[in-house]
Amino acid sequence: MKKNHTFLLIMLSAVILFSAFSGWQDPEQVPYPTGYRSWTHVKSKVALSNNPANKSASTYHHIYANALALEGYKTGKFPKGSVIVADFIAAVDSSSALFEGQRKYIDVMIRNTEQYASTGGWGCEEFEKDSKTARKVNLVNAQACFNCHKPQAANEFVFSKYRE
Amino acid sequence: MKKNHTFLLIMLSAVILFSAFSGWQDPEQVPYPTGYRSWTHVKSKVALSNNPANKSASTYHHIYANALALEGYKTGKFPKGSVIVADFIAAVDSSSALFEGQRKYIDVMIRNTEQYASTGGWGCEEFEKDSKTARKVNLVNAQACFNCHKPQAANEFVFSKYRE
């Protein structure tokens, strides 16, 4: 038992030393995109419920871009610090119109080719409802975001286009 | 015939003199809201086609506010110079989603209680499609805008609320 304990301590020290000398570190958590509601509205779509009798299960997808990301939409090259937010809001069917209901979640992409080299140069995160802290991706699941965005390689992995 | 002509000239001169001395003048044309696509996106709705088989006749209503109007949404008092734009975009039904199509028109409200005293302190205009000059209201029809907005007197005649 004592031997195992010593072995673990040695291994742990080795990992810490390796990390310190190699300069290796976790990529940073994607920060909550404070103030995104005042960024430029890129475009919208509504994903309709598959059940025509239940249009209230439909969802607004509003895309917002900070100033750097807006430059990216216009030039095709997203500079470091570009942030894109997809805001998913319930679409509530009433009186022949779809109104905005509660927020379901937001998806965030942040451009940093060094930090997020393994996921196309984009960090990604999903924040639940109106929370600024309840994360669904948490770095470990970032590959899942990237897998879906891979076909958009020609557009630096961005699906949306700016609607004039 | 000559007499009628003279009479008309006298009447016209009287009108011009009255206008000049009374200081009376037309309110200004509502300017095109240059740059509104980068203003804050207040909220959206989709007006659905009455014909369920023709969802492509549906229309996005996106509301945008300049910085002054955003202050108005938050305080309930719209300062002079507040501008609100309603952007009407075709909602095109495809693959269980409503995508944005062509712009149909934009409606503009600008706050100036002196200029537009007879229409609740708001000037209004409608610009067709992507045009910055093709006007549908042209001052003479401003009362029609106001008639529809009158029930919103408690909200300074504004229908929309800011969606957080």
**pLDDT (tens digit, 9 = 90+) per residue, B118-150?**
999 999 999 999 999 999 999 899 999 999 999
Q: What pLDDT does A10 receive?
A: 72
What value does the mean pLDDT of chain B take? Answer: 90
CB contact under 8 A, B97 and A40: no
CA dist A103 and A98 (Å) reads 14
- The yes-or-no verdict on residue A51 having pLDDT over 90 is no
Residues on chain A touching B44 (C-beta within 8 angstroms): 44, 60, 62, 100
Nearest residue of B to residue A96, measured between CA atoms: B48
Residues on chain A touching B43 (C-beta within 8 angstroms): 100
3-state class (DSSP) for residue B98:
strand
Where is B5: in which H helix or E strand? helix B2-22
Does the structure's ipTM exceed the value 0.90?
Answer: no
Q: Can you spell out the DSSP letters for A50-90? A: SSTT-GGGEEEEEEEE-HHHHHHHHHS---TT-EEEEEEEE
Read off φ and ψ for residue B3, nearest 5 degrees.
Answer: -60, -45
The band of A55, judged by pLDDT with boundaries at 50, 70 and 90, is: low
Where is B75: in which H helix or E strand? helix B67-75
Higher pLDDT, B27 or A146: A146
- The yes-or-no verdict on residue A20 having pLDDT over 80 is no
Q: What pLDDT does B17 receive?
A: 57
Identify the contact set of chain A against chain B, taking CB-CB distances under 8 A. Answer: 37-38, 40-41, 43-48, 50, 52, 60, 62, 64, 70, 89, 91, 93, 96-100, 130, 163-164
- The yes-or-no verdict on residue B20 having pLDDT over 80 is no
- The yes-or-no verdict on residue B116 having pLDDT over 70 is yes
CB contact under 8 A, B60 and A70: no
DSSP B135: B
- The yes-or-no verdict on residue A8 having pLDDT over 80 is no
pLDDT, mean of residues B91-116: 95
CA angle B95, B85, B162 (to 5 degrees): 80
Residue positions counted in chain B: 164
pTM of this structure: 0.84
Taking the CA of residue B8 and the nearest CA in chain A, the distance in Å comes to 50
Identify the contact set of chain B against chain A, taking CB-CB distances under 8 A. Answer: 37-38, 40-41, 43-48, 50, 52, 60, 62, 64, 70, 89, 91, 93, 96-100, 130, 163-164
Label residues A58-78 b or e (16+ Cβ within 10 Å = b): bbbbbbbbbebbbebbeeeeb
For residue A79, CA distances in Å to A3, A26, A40, A111, B28 come to 52, 22, 16, 7, 42
CB contact under 8 A, A47 and B97: yes
- Considering CB atoms only, which of B47, B62, B99 is closest to A41? B62
- Note the pLDDT tens digit of each residue in B50-60: 766 666 689 99
Q: What pLDDT does A17 receive?
A: 56
